[in-house]
Amino acid sequence: MHVRRLVSLIGFTLACGLPSAALMAREGVEVGKESAFAKLVPAAEVEQSAFQQYSQMLKQAADKNALGPADHPQVLRLRQIAKELIPHSYEWNPRARDWKWEVNLIGSNQVNAFCMPGGKIAFYSGILKQLELTDDEVAMVMGHEIAHALREHARERMGKSAATNGLATIGSTVASVFFGVNPNLTDFVARQGANLITLKFSRDDETEADLVGMELAARAGYDPRAGVTLWQKMSAANKGAPPQWLSTHPSGNSRIEEIQANLPKVLPLYQRAKDNK
C-alpha cells in the first residue's frame, strides 16, 4: 500500500512538473547568464569581422611560411582535439552548430592561443613547445579559448563600448530589428575587429572561460585536472616579461584554487567520457 502511494505521488509530481528543476539539474559548472550588452551588437557582424581578421592573419602567416600545413603532426593533433571538443559547445551557444570552425597552427615563439568569434581557432607553436603541453593541457587551453567565443565575451565588450559611445541605444536597437543594422554600429564593429586577436577580457570573463572550458574538455574525455598543471607551467614560464597568453589572463593561486574547487563538478563527466572512449 505504501509503495503504491509512493509511486502515485511520484507520478503526480512528475506530471505536474513540480520537482522538474531538481530532477533535471544540469551536470557541470555553474556560470551566470550572458551579458545583455552582447545583444546590442549583431552576432553576425562580429563573426564576419572575426572571419576577415582571421583570414588576414592566415595569409600573413602563409606569406612568411609560418602557417602549419594540414599534414603537420601538431596540426593533426590540434584538429583532433578540437573535433572532440566542438560537439559539446552547442549547448552553450546554439550558433556554434553553424559556425565554420577552423583550427590552425602559426609558427611563432609566442606563448599564445585564441578562438575568435565564429569558431576561428589558432595556436602558436611557442605555447606547445615551450610549455610541452600534454593533450589534456592542450584541451584545457583550447576549451578556455572556445569558451570565450561561446559566451560571446568579445561581442559583450563591443556592446559595452558601443553603449559608451552612444551607438547602441534602445531606439537604434529596435530600429535595427525592423529596418536593418545601424550603419554606424556596423562601422564600429568593423573598426573593433582589428582588436579581436589581442582583445583583453575582464577577470570575470576569464574565470567563466576557465570553468566552461574545463567542462568542455571533461565532456570530451580530457582530464580537467590538467588545468592545475597548465597554470603551474604558465606561472613557471612567467619570469621577467610574462608570455603573451598569460599577460591577458589573470593568474596566481586563486585561479588554480577556483579550478580545484570546481573539479568535483566535472570529474564525473570526464570519467564517463573516458569510459566511453
Neighbouring-strand partners of residue 116:
120
- Mapping DSSP to helix (H, G, I), strand (E, B) and coil, where does residue 206 land? helix
CA 202/CA 165 separation, integer angstroms: 19
Burial of residue 2, with CB atoms counted within 10 A of its CB: 0-12 exposed, 13-18 middle, 19 or more buried: exposed
Contacts (Cβ under 8 Å, ≥6 apart) of 227: 140, 210, 214, 256, 259
Radius of gyration of the CA atoms of the chain, in A: 21
Q: CA angle 67-69-75, nearest 5°?
A: 95
Known catalytic membership, residue 215: no
Choice among 45, 102, 137, 145 that is catalytic: 145
Phi (first) and psi of residue 114, to 5 degrees: -160, 165
CA 169/CA 174 separation, integer angstroms: 9
- The secondary element (H helix, E strand) that includes residue 248 is none
Cell numbers linked to 41:
551588437
Q: Which of 47, 53, 30, 31 is nearest to 155 (CA)?
A: 47
For the annotated catalytic residues, the residue numbers are: 145
